[in-house]
Amino acid sequence: MTTLPVAPDVFHLYDTTLRDGAQQEGLRLTVADKLKIARLLDELGVHFIEGGWPGANPNDTAFFAAAASGELALANAKLTAFGATRRVGGRAASDPLTRALLDAQTEVICLVAKSHDEHVYRALRTDLAENLAMITDTVRFLTGEGRRVFVDCEHFFDGYRANPSYALEVVRTAADAGAEVVVLCDTNGGMLPNWMGEVVSAAGGVGVDLGIHCHNDTGCAVANTLAAVDAGAMHVQGTMNGHGERTGNADLVTVLANLQLKYGWDVVLGEQLARATSISHAVAAITHVAPNARQPYVGHSAFAHKAGLHASAIKVDANLYQHTDPVHVGNDMRMLVSDMAGRANIQLKGGELGFDLSDREIAARITDRVKQREAAGYSYESADASFELLLRSELGQLTFPFEVQRWRVLTSSEPTDEGDSEGTVKVRVGESVTSRVGEAFGPLSALDIALRQALTPAFPAVESYELIDYKVRIIEMGHGTDAIVRVLIDTTDGSRTWTTVGVGTNVVEASWEALHDAYLWGLLTRESDVGSATAANVAEIADEVLVGG
Segment 82-94, tens digit of pLDDT = 999 999 999 999 9
Which residue from 206, 163, 211 is spatially nearest to 183, judged by alpha carbons?
211
Segment 293-344, tens digit of pLDDT = 899 999 978 887 765 544 454 555 566 668 898 889 987 776 655 444 556 6
- Element housing 159 (H / E): helix 156-162
3-state secondary structure of 150: strand
Report how far residue 535's alpha carbon sits from residue 42's, in angstroms, rounded to the nearest whole number.
56
Segment 240-273, tens digit of pLDDT = 999 999 999 999 999 999 999 999 999 999 889 9
Mean pLDDT, consecutive 10-residue stretches, the chain (549 aa), reads 85 98 94 93 97 96 96 96 97 97 98 98 97 98 98 98 98 98 98 96 97 98 98 98 97 98 95 90 84 90 65 55 85 61 68 84 86 82 85 91 94 84 94 93 93 94 90 66 81 88 91 95 71 34 31
- Element housing 474 (H / E): strand 466-477
Report how far residue 447's alpha carbon sits from residue 452's, in angstroms, rounded to the nearest whole number.
8
Report how far residue 480's alpha carbon sits from residue 485's, in angstroms, rounded to the nearest whole number.
14
Query: Taking the CA of residue 31 as centre, how many other CA atoms within 13 Å lie in the half-sphere pointing to its CB?
Result: 15
Report how far residue 111's alpha carbon sits from residue 139's, in angstroms, rounded to the nearest whole number.
8
Torsion of CA 155, 161, 167, 172, to 10 degrees: 120
145-to-64, 85, 141, 150 alpha-carbon distances in Å:
18, 15, 6, 14
Torsion of CA 524, 529, 533, 537, to 10 degrees: -70
| CB of 140 closer than 8 Å to CB of 132 | no
Listed in order, strand segments (DSSP E) in 222-349 are 235-238, 304-305, 334-335
What pTM was estimated for this model as a whole?
A: 0.69
